[in-house]
Amino acid sequence: MFAACLFQVSGTQSAQDTSRPDQIIEVFRHGARGPLVRFDHAWQKDQMGQLTEPGTRQKYILGRVLNKKYPHLVGEMTPVNQTYILSDITSRCIQSAILKRSGLYNTNVSHLHSKNPEEKGTPPFKDPLVYQLSYNDTDLQNGLAGKNGTKTVQPQVHIVDKENAAIFKRAHGSQCPNGNIWEKQNSGDERSKEAWSIFKDTIDQINSHFPKYKQLKSPFGLAVFGDAMLVNVFHNMSMESFGMHDPQAVKNFTYAYSWFVFHNEYGQEHQRQVSAFPFVDEILKKLEAFKNGEEDSKQAALYSAHDYNIYAILGAFGVISEECIMANFKSSIANETLPYPHCYFPFFASNLIFELYNKTEKAYVKLLYNNVPVPLCDGGKEACEYEEFVKFARNAVGNHTDESYKEVCGVVVKGKKKVESEGKSFLRREEIEENLDNDSDNDVTYQDKERMIVESLISSRSNSTRVSLDLSELKADKFSTFKLSNSTIVLGWIVLSLIICLLIKSRTKSVRLHAMFKRHGKKKISSLINIQDIDVKIH
């Protein structure tokens, strides 16, 4: 009910190009999910961070839309080996990828074929913020018609591994240690303080509904709060838990959320460059391989990703910036036309599509953000000559190589040892999300897991479906860390106990300490104790 109040983005597409692209590369955000933090306790604990029923409909229907727009590139009429699908490791991304593939191949998903927009689980199609598509409702619903139950061979959904893990990562933590420092710098700089004062009326309006200890006092709290708020917006749920009784407050706060998230992670030029580099590098390699006719190239490459992946690419390309978000906010308050219609946060199910045309002739590239062409290259063109686009994209990510990327990020590899810079991350959503996915089940094959995921998502109506992943290697790493941590704690307690016992000269009969300090008589015990020099006998 609040979704329709958010800022309007034009869904009008330019005149249809009579030619068809030879290749597409899509980066899409997963469908609507449950919150990461439960500000609204109407959400159940097992829904935290998980794909919801509206999210399943989003991805399935958008799969049908993609098939309708590019029937010559994706779907049952195309060679299965020409489609590549890669998903991040989080369950909602894997589920979104599988559901999108189901839409592409018109898999029989009976409960997703409903044409009743009021049915539970139906996203608010009419709201331009949700899809920003030029397709109208009839187009979307017609996309559901077809050969229900048709069985076709479908491409596998690949899950990210060590070789391509960097693609989906944020530019902080072990991936980019200096990113932690940059985020901390941004959180307290002058631009952040100025923006806080500009959004102060909006923030104060929300804070007036909460006791002092619950009020928003920092950009970090604002970002976490805003993420949970948008979850409710996209599920047409009440805003009462967020102290928002005025639709305009939701609209204004969305701008504040968008600005601070962008400023935190992409406020500095090198942040934008390194944040987008892994994904842009991957996209350029896929374009180049296809253009050159390499044997393993694909005519369609689809990536199931996150909001921050899309935000990073658009930030590096200059499509989104702090300035355009703020300008749109001020125009919105004044009820004026938004000066930057492409400048908005990538909400649930948003996508980027790179289209390559005329690969054998004078090739050119287009970029669509939620089905609307985005101006690129010098002069803001909707179609860039291929070489010009490559130069533009490389420059947007600082012309980095894998080596220079690591150097700027503060990751130095010496042999097998990684040396990381210090710095605390300002906004680490992975830390919140880390415990939201199930542990691994090493006895089940990937194909079995995929089948179970499809069955659970399609056959059942549960909106708390979760997925088990093969994380044996990651799990082992975590377990090793856990053991080391416990060993350190145990060692510390032993040493501390020994020092206390020796200081009070305990004569207890239950524990006898035979230390190699006897020859020192009553001399003070050294602060450095070798545990091998202590013989502990417990009777």
Give a three-class secondary structure readout of 469-489. CCCHHHHHHHHHHHHHHHHHH
* 396 backbone dihedrals φ, ψ, rounded to 5°: -65, -30
Position 15 confidence tier, pLDDT thresholds 50, 70, 90: very low
Position 484 confidence tier, pLDDT thresholds 50, 70, 90: very low
Which residues, 6 or more positions from 328, have their beta carbon under 8 angstroms from its beta carbon?
7, 255, 338, 339, 340, 343, 344
Q: pLDDT tens digits for 364-401?
A: 999 999 999 999 998 888 999 999 999 999 999 999 99
Q: Could you tell me which residue, 137 or 41, shows the higher pLDDT?
A: 41
CA within 13 Å, CB half, 60: 27
Instruction: Give yes or no for residue 244 having a pLDDT over 90.
Output: no
Which residues, 6 or more positions from 116, have their beta carbon under 8 angstroms from its beta carbon?
122
What are the structure tokens assigned to 503, written together? 């200081």
DSSP 58: H
Question: What is the distance between the alpha carbons of residues 218 and 215, in angstroms, rounded to a whole number?
Answer: 9
Question: What is the distance between the alpha carbons of residues 427 and 224, in angstroms, rounded to a whole number?
Answer: 9
Which residues, 6 or more positions from 270, have their beta carbon under 8 angstroms from its beta carbon?
182, 398, 408
Report pLDDT for 164.
79
Position 23 confidence tier, pLDDT thresholds 50, 70, 90: very high
Position 487 confidence tier, pLDDT thresholds 50, 70, 90: low
Among the listed residues 365, 317, 352, 323, the one whose alpha carbon sits nearest the alpha carbon of residue 340: 323
Average pLDDT over residues 73-81: 92
For 49: left if phi > 0, alpha if psi spans -120 to 50, otherwise beta; the answer is left
Report pLDDT for 14.
38
Position 497 confidence tier, pLDDT thresholds 50, 70, 90: confident
Predicted structure pTM score: 0.73
Report pLDDT for 108.
59
E strand or H helix at 157, and its extent? Answer: strand 157-159
Let me know: does 358 contact 22? Beta carbons within 8 Å. Answer: yes
Position 522 confidence tier, pLDDT thresholds 50, 70, 90: very low
- Average pLDDT value for the chain: 75
- Other Cβ atoms less than 10 A from the Cβ of 191: the count is 13
Give a three-class secondary structure readout of 433-461. HCCCCCCCCCCCCHHHHHHHHHHHHHHCC
Q: pLDDT tens digits for 463-480?
A: 333 332 222 222 233 333
Q: In this predicted structure, which of 237-251, 371-385, 445-459 has the lowest mean pLDDT?
A: 445-459
Q: pLDDT tens digits for 275-311?
A: 999 999 999 999 999 999 999 999 999 999 999 999 9
Average pLDDT over residues 68-76: 93
Q: Could you tell me which residue, 259 or 105, shows the higher pLDDT?
A: 259
DSSP letter for each residue of 393-411: HHHHTTT--HHHHHHHHTE
Q: Which long-range contacts (CB under 8 A, 24 or more apart) does 139-148 make?
A: 139/65, 139/68, 140/61, 140/64, 140/65, 141/115, 143/61, 143/64, 143/65, 143/67, 143/68, 143/103, 144/61, 144/64, 144/112, 144/113, 144/115, 146/64, 146/106, 147/106, 148/106, 148/108, 148/110, 148/113
Specify which of 139-153, 186-200, 491-505 reaches the highest per-range mean pLDDT: 186-200
Residue ranges per domain, the chain?
A: 3-416, 474-538
Position 261 confidence tier, pLDDT thresholds 50, 70, 90: very high
Which residues, 6 or more positions from 308, have their beta carbon under 8 angstroms from its beta carbon?
170, 265, 275
Report pLDDT for 192.
96
Average pLDDT over residues 323-335: 96
Looking at CATH, the fold of the domain delimited by 3-416 is given as: Rossmann fold (3.40.50)
Q: pLDDT tens digits for 215-242?
A: 999 998 999 999 999 999 888 898 989 9
Report pLDDT for 246.
83
Q: Percent of the chain scored above 90 by pLDDT? A: 51
Average pLDDT over residues 175-185: 94
What are the structure tokens assigned to 240, written together? 């009462």
DSSP letter for each residue of 87-100: E-SSHHHHHHHHHH
Instruction: Give yes or no for residue 504 having a pLDDT over 70.
Output: no
Among the listed residues 112, 20, 113, the one whose alpha carbon sits nearest the alpha carbon of residue 69: 20
Report pLDDT for 420.
40
DSSP 33: B
- Pairing state between β 83-87 and 157-159: parallel
Q: How far apart are the first and last CA of the chain?
A: 70
Report pLDDT for 500.
75
Q: Could you tell me which residue, 178 or 243, shows the higher pLDDT?
A: 178
Instruction: Give yes or no for residue 491 having a pLDDT over 60.
Output: yes
Report pLDDT for 387.
95
Average pLDDT over residues 318-342: 96
Beta strands of 278-414 (E only): which ranges?
300-305, 351-357, 364-369, 372-373, 384-385, 411-414
Report pLDDT for 450.
46
Position 539 confidence tier, pLDDT thresholds 50, 70, 90: very low
Q: pLDDT tens digits for 404-445?
A: 999 999 986 544 444 443 444 344 455 555 444 443 343 444
Q: pLDDT tens digits for 100-125?
A: 998 998 875 544 544 443 333 333 33
